[in-house]
Amino acid sequence: MAFIEDVFKSDLGTGLAVGIGVLVLGPIVVPAVAGVAKPLLKAAIKGGLIIYDQGKSIASSVKKESGCLLDHGKNVVANVKKESEQLYDKGKGLLNDAKDSFDKLVEESRAELSGEVAVEQPEIVAPVEVV
């Protein structure tokens, strides 16, 4: 008996015992485990395919919506650019008009100072009393 106890205490004995157990119980345990594992594996694969399809649909929707948002943003930028160019042109025109008016006033002032043009005096109107 000491020999059998020594064999199971060593690694060789444990390995042999496990090997013999697998050979004896393997044909019984493997079909039972496969019978349970196969439906679980099929359900996991089907669940994965369903999740993949839903993820694909969500990604497509996100791509479509982000494209719409991007197009809208581009339109907004184009409109703002167009409006700012119009305002710039209008402001530039007003500035040119103001410069022309200023130049005209400077010329008139110089003419008045040199005595070329007679200065028109404004007509003074007396206030009227209301009874």
Please check the confidence at residue 7 and state whether its pLDDT lies above 60.
no
pTM of the model: 0.41
Q: How far apart are CA 64 and CA 51, in angstroms?
A: 20
- Give the other-Cβ count within 10 Å of 16's Cβ: 13
Mean pLDDT to the nearest integer, 61-87: 91
- Residue 67's pLDDT is 87
Q: How far apart are CA 80 and CA 77, in angstroms?
A: 5
Write phi, then psi, for 116 (nearest 5 degrees): -75, -30
- DSSP letter at 109? H
